[in-house]
């Protein structure tokens, strides 16, 4: 019951915020908030539409949702710090965009991180073998390290260029070539295992009583 | 951890969907429990055992050396 009330409250707050933002012509962030709500509550909305009632908020759902929300929070915190750094040193391809646009994309990507995290814990992780799971995490770490290195290198390249006045080559090569390549490899690798786990048919397709019935 | 949920479901002609409804969880939770890929809370284990007319240790078999 608590979860149902919390869900209802979250949706009402989001709708009120969207209307308020749209009335002040902040359309980007209003749309982003709408997309975020759809991404985060897609399961509840789908279930409500199909069965005319909310799905059970069982303990497994709560565990997975908590883990996914934690991942999304970490992602948004780290991304916010990087964006603040980018604004602080005037990185051209970030500052070119309106802050509300950037905030909108941050919200949408945060919702996506939540969704992917939830799908992973709910559907992918239980279906991957131990060895595959290890490889998945290794690829994800490579992608994360690549992403961190790329942002840090671009930041350092800009700082050195701005304050020392030289066109620094090492961080430029790392930030533009090496780190993005590592990130790409990591992302593709982890995506392969993610899809592999998602598509693996361990769950029965249809829950037919006759198929499942076991003779005692 | 191994479970005898499937076996006991068979005795009562219960589908995964129906058992899930009885104990207030999603069908996926029952599926992963049957496959031994999810460790339930004591409350859920108790609810499942009660729904299947058995005790917890009849349904859930904890193997030595497991975390």
DSSP symbol at B65: T
CB nearest to B41's CB, from A59, A208, A214:
A59
Greater model confidence, A27 or B44: B44
Greater model confidence, A11 or B19: B19
* Mean per-residue pLDDT over chain A, rounded: 83
Please list every residue in chain A whose beta carbon sits closer than 8 Å to the beta carbon of residue B31: 203-204
Helix (H) / strand (E) containing B14: none
**pTM beyond 0.80:** no
Position A4 scores a pLDDT of 72
Cross-chain residue pair B7–A214, CB shorter than 8 Å: yes
Q: Taking the domains of chain A in order of start, what are their residue ranges?
A: 128-201
Residue B66: pLDDT band with limits 50, 70, 90: low
Could you tell me whether strands B2-3 and B60-61 are parallel, antiparallel, or unpaired per DSSP bridges? antiparallel
Cross-chain residue pair A60–B29, CB shorter than 8 Å: yes
B10 has a chain A CB within 8 A of its CB: yes
* C-alpha to C-alpha distance for B42 and B65, rounded to whole angstroms: 20
pLDDT at A169 over 90: no
Residue B8: pLDDT band with limits 50, 70, 90: very high
Kindly give, in sequence order, each residue whose CB lies less than 8 Å from that of residue A1, ignoring residues fewer than 6 positions away. Answer: none
* C-alpha to C-alpha distance for A204 and A211, rounded to whole angstroms: 10
Cross-chain residue pair B15–A209, CB shorter than 8 Å: yes
Position A177 scores a pLDDT of 92
* C-alpha to C-alpha distance for A174 and A157, rounded to whole angstroms: 10
Interface predicted TM-score of the whole assembly (ipTM), two decimals: 0.74
Chain B residue with the nearest C-alpha to that of A57:
B25
Position A101 scores a pLDDT of 77
Phi-psi region of B17 (alpha: psi -120 to 50; beta: other; left: phi over 0): alpha
User: SS3 string of chain A?
Assistant: CHHHHHHHHHHHHHHHHHHHHHHCCCHHHHHHHHHHHHHHCHHHHHHHHHHCCCCCCCHHHHHHHHHHHHHHHHHHHHHHHHHHHHHHCCCHHHHCCCHHHHHHHHHHHHHHHHHHHHHHHHHHHHHCCHHHHHHHHHHHHHHHHHHHHHHHHHHHHHHHHHHCCCCCCHHHHHHHHHHHHHHHHHHHHHHHHHHHHHHCCCCCCCCCHHHHCCCC
Greater model confidence, A88 or B59: B59
Could you report the per-residue pLDDT of A93-114, keeping only the tens digit for each?
777 777 777 887 888 888 889 8
pLDDT at A211 over 80: no
Please list every residue in chain B whose beta carbon sits closer than 8 Å to the beta carbon of residue A126: 32, 35, 37-38
Determine which of A34-48, A150-164, A182-196, A202-216 has the lowest per-residue pLDDT on average. Answer: A202-216
Question: A168 to chain B nearest CA, in Å?
Answer: 52
């Amino acid at each position: 019951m608590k979860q149902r009330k919390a869900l209802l409250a979250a949706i009402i707050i989001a709708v009120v915020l969207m209307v308020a933002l749209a009335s002040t012509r902040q359309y980007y962030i209003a749309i982003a908030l709408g997309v975020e709500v759809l991404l985060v509550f897609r399961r509840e909305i789908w279930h409500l539409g199909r069965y005319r009632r909310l799905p059970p908020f069982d303990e497994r759902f709560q565990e997975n949702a908590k883990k996914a929300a934690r991942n999304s929070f970490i992602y948004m915190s780290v991304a916010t710090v990087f964006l603040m750094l980018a604004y602080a040193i005037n990185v051209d391809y970030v500052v070119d965009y309106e802050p509300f646009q950037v905030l909108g994309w941050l919200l949408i990507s945060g919702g996506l991180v939540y969704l992917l995290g939830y799908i992973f814990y709910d559907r992918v992780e239980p279906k991957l073998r131990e060895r595959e799971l290890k490889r998945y995490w290794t690829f994800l770490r490579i992608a994360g390290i690549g992403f961190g290195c790329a942002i840090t290198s671009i930041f350092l390249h800009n700082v050195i260029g701005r304050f020392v006045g030289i066109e620094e080559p090492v961080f430029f090569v790392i930030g533009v070539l090496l780190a993005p390549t590592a990130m790409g490899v990591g992302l593709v690798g982890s995506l392969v295992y993610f899809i592999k786990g998602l598509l693996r048919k361990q769950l029965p397709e249809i829950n037919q009583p006759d198929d499942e019935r076991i003779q005692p | 951890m191994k479970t005898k949920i499937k076996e006991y479901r068979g005795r009562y002609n219960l589908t995964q969907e129906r058992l899930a409804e009885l104990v207030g969880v999603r069908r996926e939770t029952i599926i992963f429990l049957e496959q031994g890929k999810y460790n339930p809370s004591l409350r859920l284990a108790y609810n499942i055992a009660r729904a299947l007319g058995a005790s917890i240790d009849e349904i859930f078999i904890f193997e030595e050396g497991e975390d």
